[in-house]
Amino acid sequence: MMKLRAIIVISIYAILVALASFWMAKQSYSWFPPEAAAEAKLLDDLFSLFTGLGTFIYLGVIGPFLYSLVFHRAGKYDLSDGPPIEGNTWLEIVWTAVPLVLVLTLSFVSYRTYEKMAVRGPMELVHLHMPQMMQPAYAEPFDSTPQQEIQKAVETAPIEQINVIAKQWAWIFHYPQQDITSTELHLPVDRRVRFTLRSEDVLHGFYIPAFRLKQDVVPNHEIDFELTPVKTGTYRLRDSMFSGTYFAANQADVVVQPFNEYQQWLADAATASPSPAFNQAAFEYSKANDREGATKDKVAVRGWETIPPAAPPVVNYAPKHEPDSPPA
Amino acid sequence: MTNISLEAPEVVRGQPYPGAPDNWKRFFTFSTDHKVIGIQYIVTSFFFFLIGGTFSMIMRGELITPDADLVDRTVYNALFTMHGSIMLFMWTFPVLVGLGNYLVPLMIGARDMAFPRLNAVSFWMIPVVGILMLSSFLVPGGPSQSGWWAYPPVSLQNPTGNLINGQVLWILAVAISGVSSIMGAVNFVTTIFRMRAPGMTWFRTPAFVWSVLAAQLIQLYGLPALTGGAVMLLLDLTIGTSFFAPERGGNPILYQHFFWFYSHPAVYVMILPVFGMYSEILPVHARKPLFGYRVIAASSILITIISGFVWVHHMFASATPGWMRMFFMVTTMLVAIPSGIKVFGWVATIWGGKIRFTTPMLFALGGISNWVFAGITGIFLGSVPIDIHVNNTYFVVGHFHYVLYGAIVMGIYAGIYHWFPKMTGRMYYEGLGKLHFALTYLGTALTFVPMHPLGLMGMPRRVASYDLEFAYWNVIASIGGFLLGLSTLPFILNMVSSWIRGEKVGNNPWRAYGLEWLTSSPPTVENFEELPIVVSGPYGYGRNQPLVGNTPNPELTEFPESLTQQQTS
């Protein structure tokens, strides 16, 4: 009788936990910025699966944990011991096997998602020859919508090549076909884009949260990196790898626009003559230099000495908006 | 003619010289008593915990508004660098070594560590490390600003041009800390292998000792890599070698391999002893044997082995080849299995028990619940696609602070409260302890849960300023951070006042099994009047069997009346 009751209670709890996990999995989509790239959809689906399973495990463990804390307390004058149960082989095998199966499954699903994202271009830094891993995913049969979009984009248009130069502390985007430079990244929607990432000094991180993608930029390396924007709008590119004093200010806007507008922008930029762009790091550094007591050799900042920022980049196109009240 | 005494002065083992002080002054001597050294470690590390915590509160003050307005960017960078460095090298490692130092010889029935003088030398290097770290605030250019990773090329940039600068001092401090830890590891491993009491077979050895052994084995294989990497970085910085400097043909990614080969397993060096403490505390305060003791003990060793193959998951975005990403994704996730074994074992231990909500029990239970959460977000980070989005964001900061503060710091508190009566012979004040627990648990959640959504939204870590969209969660995290700072006050008050005038309790106020509870509180210089002969396993609750053959069973009836009232009211 007791056993039947226990089975019913556990079943009801399992159903409730499953429902809560499903709800959390659905909720997880709202925790992210907009899905502005095909890769973002893939990642969000994977994250949702992890959230669902993670919630199930968490509640599955914490439920019995809290139950025993509430119902298995010692009585006021009870100094006796609990039952001396030391182990249960069957139970121990089950709770070793279940996590093993779970993590292997999650690894496999993650691997499939990574393969579909195919963020690495042909310059993959692979010394070990493993063709099936290096092959871009768009050469494989696809089943998901984003992947079809990537495939369609790849099949219908050439890959858009853009060179990215990172330095302390600015991002410069170079469009080699038109030989245009910009401090704002413009991308055509629904087309595969290939970046070649270079760093002039230290490690930087090329990170656009709305695309869910990130790649460290390593000095002395050219790193190819591919993605497909699928939603027009303005997003933020951030430096994700700590790069020194003005690290936090090393940001840029990413404008995803329809192909014709993108081409128009390229054409307009090609006619503009290069001029220095506003740069937050250079601006703050010069403000610090202007302070009383500053000399050429000693920079009077409120903190400690710093590597001077590179000169503001000279580019064909720079966004017009400058900060109204720049940070101190 | 003067009288010359022909009797040799009485030398007590553990005393550096005859007549060494037997009061509080002994904590300021080169004592070779493992218990004195243990307390030296714990108190010293707590001093630095408060300094590192103060730095973090200045940082949370900076981050309460989006602009970089409270401190200059260089100061902010120095603060997060020193916060991380101090919290790891001066707080978490030393405090755990201190607890291990105090407890391991008592738990295995030894009179001291295997190499008492080496033990003392290991400790006295820690204040040197601390002085080096803090003195970097006084050199021109200030402390290192390159983060506790000290990734080159940023760590090789030296704006002052001076030979002695914050980064050099930082590297020296880390290298000395590494040498101290290697010496400590040799001592622990030798002690545990060679000095267990007669009859203490491996599967009669307490889970805490297993976990300390597992952790110290990681130190032995991992620390040489970190220390070697640090020396190479020092050479690059000072005499212009080119191991990691890209402008001279070096490879900065190589440093990351050296660094993470140790510094990821280092997390297990810190959490394993805490797992061990949970495994000791739950059976006592739930009055049940540790469920699955053998598997829990073995899982510690399994973590040691797996942790040698996880380091690249910190480098998924660092131009790491695809095959390496896949291999390390699987190995990283495999850590979930031994960790899961432990968690299930703890839940089964308290299931059906006679639980008392004492302060150590509350901290242990709170720490375990935090660990479950942190462990699950750890699986997220193991997955390459998810990691590509969230690494180097606040999601990671939230995750590892849930591990470090939520599970490890709370576990350390649990351990200190649990063994406080053993160390001092006095009981702490339960009311203050519970207040401390409530503030800590709430503060942990308020500070570190908001960091997860911040990371998913795309806020990078280590930023002194941020976009307006991140303000909401940052304000909550900052309030939580200040609360955590506040939470340490009842703890300090409790420890100091209880040590001076707390209620005197007997040798075994918790009615616990375990060799350490057989001796007096505080234990005598040589720990045991007569070395125990172990005849059964360490968790005999509910079984009424002797633990040792040559001394009486642990006193199971002694229970302070005042404590009974507090706990059950």
Q: Looking at the domain assignment, is residue B12 inside a domain?
A: no
* Percent of residues, chain B, with pLDDT higher than 90: 85
Instruction: Name the residue of chain A whose CA is nearest to B343's CA.
Output: A61
- Sort out which chain A residues have CB atoms less than 8 A from B322's CB and list them: 114, 120, 124, 126, 130, 133-134
Per-residue model confidence (pLDDT) at position A292: 56
Query: pLDDT tens digits, residue range A260-276?
Result: 999 999 999 999 999 99
CA distance A273 to chain B (A): 31
Reported as half-sphere exposure (CB side, CA atoms, 13 A), residue B136 has a value of 29
CB of A114 less than 8 A from some CB of B: yes
Contact A219 B246 (CB under 8 A): yes
| pLDDT at residue A134 in the model | 39
Q: Are B29 and B16 in contact (CB under 8 A)?
A: yes
What's residue B569's pLDDT? 40
Is residue B159 a contact partner of residue B142, using CB atoms and an 8 Å limit?
Answer: no
pLDDT at B358 > cutoff 50: yes
| pLDDT, mean over chain B | 92
CB atoms A86 and B289 under 8 Å: yes
- 8 Å CB contact between A50 and A80: no
Distance in Å from the first CA to the final CA of chain A: 72
Q: How confident is the model at residue B443 (pLDDT cuts 50, 70, 90)?
A: very high
Residue of B nearest to A126 (CA): B321
Which chain B residues are closer than 8 Å to A303 by Cβ?
A: 71-76, 78, 142
Number of domains within chain B: 1
- Interfacial A residues in 139-178 facing B (CB < 8 Å): none
Residue B392 within a domain: yes
Does the distance separating the beta carbons of B383 and A106 come in below 8 Å?
yes
Helix (H, G, I), strand (E, B) or coil at B393: strand
3-state secondary structure at position B98: helix
CATH no. for residue B515? 1.20.210.10
Looking at per-residue pLDDT, the higher value among B282 and A126 belongs to: B282
H-run or E-run covering A195: strand A193-199
Is residue B31 within 8 Å of residue B15, measured between CB atoms?
yes
Residues from chain B that touch A57, judged by Cβ atoms under 8 A, are: 372, 376
Q: Is A163 a residue whose pLDDT tops 90?
A: yes
Residue A286 pLDDT grade (very low, low, confident, very high; cuts 50, 70, 90): confident
Give the closest-approach CA distance of B237 to chain A in angstroms: 15
SS3 A188: strand
pLDDT in tens, A101-148: 999 999 999 999 998 888 876 544 433 344 444 334 343 333 455 566
Question: Rounded to an integer, what distance in angstroms lies between the CA atom of residue A246 and that of residue A75?
Answer: 60
At B11 the pLDDT is 52
**How much is the pTM?**
0.92
- Smallest Cβ distance to A304: which of B69, B142, B252? B142
What token pair was written down for B509? 């106020």
Nearest beta carbon to residue A218 from set B287, B319, B322: B319
For the segment B550-564, the average pLDDT, to the nearest whole number, is 54
Element (H, E) at B442: helix B430-448
What are the tens digits of pLDDT across the range A223-251?
Answer: 999 999 999 999 999 999 999 999 999 99
| Band of residue B5 on the pLDDT scale cut at 50, 70, 90 | low
Residue of B nearest to A67 (CA): B351
Cα–Cα distance for residue pair B29/B19, rounded to 1 Å: 12
Assess if residue B129 is contained within a domain. Answer: yes
By percentage, how much of chain A surpasses pLDDT 90?
A: 71
Q: How far is A124 from chain B (nearest CA, A)?
A: 7
Q: Count of CB contacts below 8 A, A vs B? A: 321
Instruction: Give the residue from A73, A80, A86, A96 with the most B CB atoms within 10 Å of its CB, the best one to mutate.
Output: A86
- Tell whether A124 lies on the interface with B, counting CB pairs under 8 A: yes
In chain B, which residue's Cα lies nearest the Cα of A53?
B376
Pick from B59, B74, B204, B368 the residue to mutate for testing the A interface (most A CBs within 10 Å): B74
SS (H, E, C) A242-292: CCCCCHHHCEEEEEEECHHHHHHHHHHHHHCCCEECCCHHHHHHHHHHHCC
**Across the interface, which of B69, B369, B559 has its CB nearest the CB of A328?**
B69
Nearest CA in chain A to B393: A240
Whether B418 and B280 have beta carbons less than 8 Å apart is answered as yes
In which domain, by residue range, is B78 found?
Answer: 35-549
Residue B221 lies in a domain: yes
Range of lowest pLDDT (A131-140, A289-298, B368-377): A131-140
Chain A CB contacts of B341 below 8 Å: 92, 95-96
Distance in angstroms (rounded) separating the CA atoms of residues B260 and B222: 9
Query: Which member of B369, B385, B457 has the closest CB to residue A110?
Result: B385
CA–CA distance, A240 with A252 (Å, rounded to integer): 12
Which tokens sit at A260? 């014709």
The model's pLDDT over B221-257, given as tens digits with 9 standing for 90+, comes to 999 999 999 999 999 999 999 999 999 999 999 999 9
pLDDT band at B30 (very low <50, low <70, confident <90, very high): confident
Residue B473's contacts (CB-CB under 8 Å, 6 or more residues apart) are B450, B451, B453, B454
* Mean pLDDT in residue range B34-41: 96
ipTM greater than cut 0.95: no
Q: Give burial (CB, 10 Å; 0-12/13-18/19+) of B380.
A: buried
Residue B321 confidence (pLDDT): 85
**pLDDT averaged over chain A?**
85
CA distance B69 to chain A (A): 6
- Residue A160: other Cβ atoms inside 10 A: 20
Please state the rounded mean pLDDT for residues B395-402.
97
Q: Taking CB atoms and an 8 Å limit, are B341 and A96 in contact across chains?
A: yes
Helices of type H across B148-264:
166-194, 207-238, 252-263
Average pLDDT over residues A8-18: 95
CB count in 10 Å sphere of residue B7: 5
Contact list in A for residue B286 (CB cut-off 8 A) is 72, 82
DSSP characters for A107-168? HHHHHHHHHHH--B-TT----S--HHHHS-GGGS---SHHHHHHHHHHHHSPPEEEEEEEET
Cβ-defined contact of B463 to A240 (cutoff 8 Å): no
| Within a domain: B13 | no
Whole-angstrom distance, CA of residue A267 vs CA of residue B55: 51
- Cβ of B286 within 8 Å of Cβ of A82? The answer is yes
CA gap A281, A183 in Å, rounded? 14
Closest alpha carbon within chain B to A238: B460
**Domain boundaries A159-278, CATH class:** mainly beta
Residues of A in contact with B376 (CB under 8 A): 54, 57-58
Q: Does a structural domain hold residue B233?
A: yes
pLDDT higher than 80, residue B9: no
Residue A30's nearest CA partner among A17, A42, A47 is A47
The tokens for B529 are 């009047």
Nearest to B73 among A124, A127, A246 (CB): A246
Residue B520 has pLDDT above 50, yes or no: yes
A119 part of contact set with chain B, CB < 8 Å: yes
Over residues A26-64, the pLDDT tens digits come to 999 999 999 999 999 999 999 999 999 999 999 999 999
- Whether residue B145 is contained in a domain is answered as yes
Give pLDDT, residue B20: 65
Residues B326-336 have a mean pLDDT of 93
In this prediction, residue A184 carries a pLDDT of 96
What's the mean pLDDT in B307-320? 90
Return the domain boundaries, chain A: 1-68+111-118, 159-278
Output the six-digit token pair for B195.
């000095």
Provide, as residue numbers in chain A, all residues whose Cβ is less than 8 Å from the Cβ of B287: 74, 80-82
Residue numbers in A near B384 (CB within 8 A): 110-111, 114
Which pLDDT value is given to residue A117? 86
Quick one: pLDDT band at residue B545, thresholds 50, 70, 90?
A: confident
pLDDT at residue A153, as a whole number: 55
**Looking at the domain assignment, is residue B565 inside a domain?**
no
> What's the confidence (pLDDT) of residue B549?
86
pLDDT of residue A131: 41
pLDDT in tens, B74-132: 999 999 999 999 999 999 999 999 999 999 999 999 999 999 999 999 999 999 999 99
